[in-house]
Amino acid sequence: MRNKVDVAIIGSGEAGIYAAYELSRLRPELKVLVLEKGRDIYSRSCPIVAGKVKACIQCGVCDTMCGFGGAGAFSDGKFNFTTAFGGWLTDFMDAGEVMDLIGYVDEINVGHGATTEVYSTETPAAKALSRKALEFDLHLLQARCKHLGTENNLRILQNIYEGMKGRVEFRFQTGVEKIERLGEKGYRLITEKGDEVDCDWLIAGPGRSGAEWFANECKGLGIELINNQVDIGVRVELPATVFEHITDVVYESKLVYRTKQYGDQVRTFCMNPYGHVVAENVEGINTVNGHSYADPKLQSQNTNFALLVSNRFTSPFNEPYRYGKHIASLSNMLAGGVLVQRFGDLVNGIRTNEHRLSQSFTRPTLTAAVPGDLSLALPKRQLDDIIEMICQLDKLAPGTANYDTLLYGAEVKFYSSRLSLSGELETALPQFFAIGDGAGVTRGLAQAGASGVKVARVISRRLEERK
Is the pLDDT confidence value at 113 over 90? Answer: yes
- Phi and psi at residue 439, in whole multiples of 5°? -90, 0
What pLDDT is attached to residue 50? 60
Nearest to 438 by CA among 56, 26, 36, 152: 36
Q: Is the pLDDT of residue 381 over 70?
A: yes
Position 76 scores a pLDDT of 75
pLDDT at 120 over 60: yes
Task: Kindly calculate the radius of gyration of the chain based on its CA atoms and give it in whole angstroms.
Answer: 22
- Contact (Cβ atoms closer than 8 angstroms) between residue 277 and residue 407: no
Asked whether the predicted pLDDT for residue 193 surpasses 90, the reply is yes
- Rounded Cα–Cα distance for residues 392 and 266 (Å): 11
| Three-class secondary structure of residue 436 per DSSP | coil
Cα–Cα distance for residue pair 170/189, rounded to 1 Å: 15
Higher-pLDDT residue of 310 and 338 is 338
Crossing angle of helices 14-26 and 445-465, rounded to 10°: 30
Q: Is the pLDDT of residue 317 over 70?
A: no
Instruction: Tell me the per-residue pLDDT of 356-369, one tens digit each, with 9 for 90 and over.
Output: 999 999 999 999 99
Which region among 58-62, 306-310, 336-340, 382-386 has the lowest average model confidence (pLDDT)?
58-62
Does residue 294 or residue 349 have the better pLDDT? Answer: 349
- Strands 32-35 and 2-10: what pairing? parallel
pLDDT for 444 equals 87
Task: Kindly indicate the confidence band of residue 151, based on its pLDDT and cuts at 50, 70 and 90.
Answer: confident
Q: How confident is the model at residue 318 (pLDDT cuts 50, 70, 90)?
A: low
Please report the pLDDT score of residue 63 as a whole number. 81
> Where is pLDDT greater, at 316 or 338?
338
- Give yes or no for residue 425 having a pLDDT over 80: yes
250-278 pLDDT, tens digit each: 988 899 999 999 999 999 998 999 999 99
| pLDDT given for residue 311 in this prediction | 74
Among 460, 451, 336, 366, residue whose Cα is nearest residue 70: 451
Predicted local distance difference test score (pLDDT) of residue 280: 82
Helices (H), 85-123: 95-111
Separation between Cα atoms, residue 455 and residue 8, nearest integer Å? 12
Distances from the Cα of 356 to the Cα of 336, 370, 409, angstroms: 19, 12, 18
The answer to whether 434 and 210 are in contact (CB under 8 A) is no
User: Is 104 within 8 Å of 453 (Cβ atoms)?
Assistant: yes
Whether the predicted pLDDT of 83 surpasses 80: yes
**Closest to 250 in 3D by CA, of 288, 308, 303:** 303
pLDDT in tens, 208-217: 888 889 988 9
Q: Are 191 and 35 in contact (CB under 8 A)?
A: yes
